Amino acid sequence: MLSFIPKSGFDVSNLNNSILILPGLNNIANIGQLTIDLLITSLNLNRVGYFDSPYLLPIIGSDPYRTNKNSNFLATNIEIYQNEDKTISIIQIRSPVISKNGNTMVKDLFDWIKSIKFKYVVLLSGADASRGNDKLLESNRLKIMRTGALNQDSDFSKVIEQIEWTKIELHPEDLKENNTYDIYTSAVNIDNGINFSQPETVETGQSPLIPGCGFAYKLYETCNEGQIPLLFMMWFTVEGDNVADAFLLAKEVGKIINKDDIKWMYPESWKFLFGGLALSSLYTS
C-alpha cells in the first residue's frame, strides 16, 4: 500500500546504486528524523519524490529547509531527497506510524527498498539509554548492527575496521540470549535492592526488544532476511533537547558516506523547537 510517486522529470533509475538513509519509525526523541533534517539541509539535497501511505498520520507544512524563500514548497509526511551527484538518497518521515499498522509499514518499506538497487541502506534510530545497564552507559552511545548481506561486502567491512566501529558492533546472537527479560531493567532492579534472579532462557523465536527503537529493529530483521545490505545505527539517548545528539549522529553518518568535511547548517524548522522567546512585556518595570 506504500506508493512511490517520483517528481515530474525525475528518473527513478537515478536511485540505483545510491546510498539510502532513512529514519526508524516511532523512535525515541525522533533522533533519526532530526539527524536526517540536518543531513538534508547541510548536504543541500533536493526533493525528488513523494510516498503515499495510509499508515502514517498526515501532516503538511511549508518549506522546512528554506532552500528557496519564495517557494510554494509543500512538505508532506514522507518524501525522498537526493543530492546532485546521485550518490546519496534520503527518505524523511515526518509523522508517526499508526502503531497497530507498524509491521505492515515495515513490510511496505522493505518491498520498496528491494525494488530499487541501492548500494546499501543506513537506518538511523534512537534507543532508550535510561533503560541501559552500567556497561552500556559507560560505552560509546553509538551502536551498530549489520545485516548478513552487508557483512559480506568486504569493502564496507574495511571501512568499518578503519573507523574502529567493530568495537561498537552488536550481533543479533548477543541480544537473543536475553530475549525473555529486559536486559536493560535488570541493572535498575539490582540497584534498587530488589532481589533479582535471571529466569531460565526459553527460546520463543520472538524478536528481542530494544527499548526506544520503535519499529527500527523490525525493519533491520526484515532486511536481514530479505538479503538487503543494511547498516543499523542506534544512538542511545533520553528525551529532551536532542539537537546535540542529532549533530553527533550526523557526524558519524558522515564517516560512512565519505563526507567528513560537511559544513553543518540547522534547518529552518528547528526554530522555536522549545517555544519562542518570552513576552518582553513580562520584563518591563
Partner 1 sequence: MDFFPLYQDIVSSRSYYEEADYIGEDLDDIPEEFKQPYIVWSSDIQNKLQEVLDVSNIIFGLKQAGASYVNARFPNKKIIGTLILPEANLFKNCLNIENPFNKLCNIYFVNEKKPTLIVLCNYNISQERAYAWSRYLLSNVKTQKIIIYDTLDATEIKTDISCDGLPHPPYIRKLTTSNFESNDDIKILETPNFVQGCSASIMSWCEINNVKAVLYLSLNENIYGKSETTVETIAAYDKTFNSLVKEEALSSGSLFNSEQLKNIFKSNFVNKSNTVNKSLLYT
Q: Rounded to an integer, what is the distance from CA 16 to the centroid of its chain?
A: 21
Nearer to partner 1 by Cβ, of 197 and 206: the residue is 206
Nearer to partner 1 by Cβ, of 117 and 271: the residue is 271
Q: How far is the CB of 27 from partner 1 (least distance, A)?
A: 6
- In the complex, the residues that contact partner 1 under the rule CB under 8 A are 5, 8, 26-28, 30, 50, 52, 54, 57-64, 66, 71-77, 94-96, 98-104, 128, 206-207, 209, 211-215, 218, 239, 268-273, 275-281
Q: How distant, in Å, are the alpha carbons of 55, 149, 245, 259 from that of 238? A: 26, 31, 10, 27
Amino acid symbol at 93: I
DSSP 95: S
Phi, psi of 69 (to 5 degrees): -60, -25
State how far the Cα of 190 lies from the Cα of 242, in Å rounded to an integer: 29
Q: How far is the CB of 198 from partner 1 (least distance, A)?
A: 20
Torsion, Cα of 4, 34, 247, 155 (10° steps) = -30
Q: How far is the CB of 19 from partner 1 (least distance, A)?
A: 25
Nearer to partner 1 by Cβ, of 150 and 224: the residue is 224
Nearer to partner 1 by Cβ, of 87 and 101: the residue is 101
Q: How far is the CB of 17 from partner 1 (least distance, A)?
A: 26
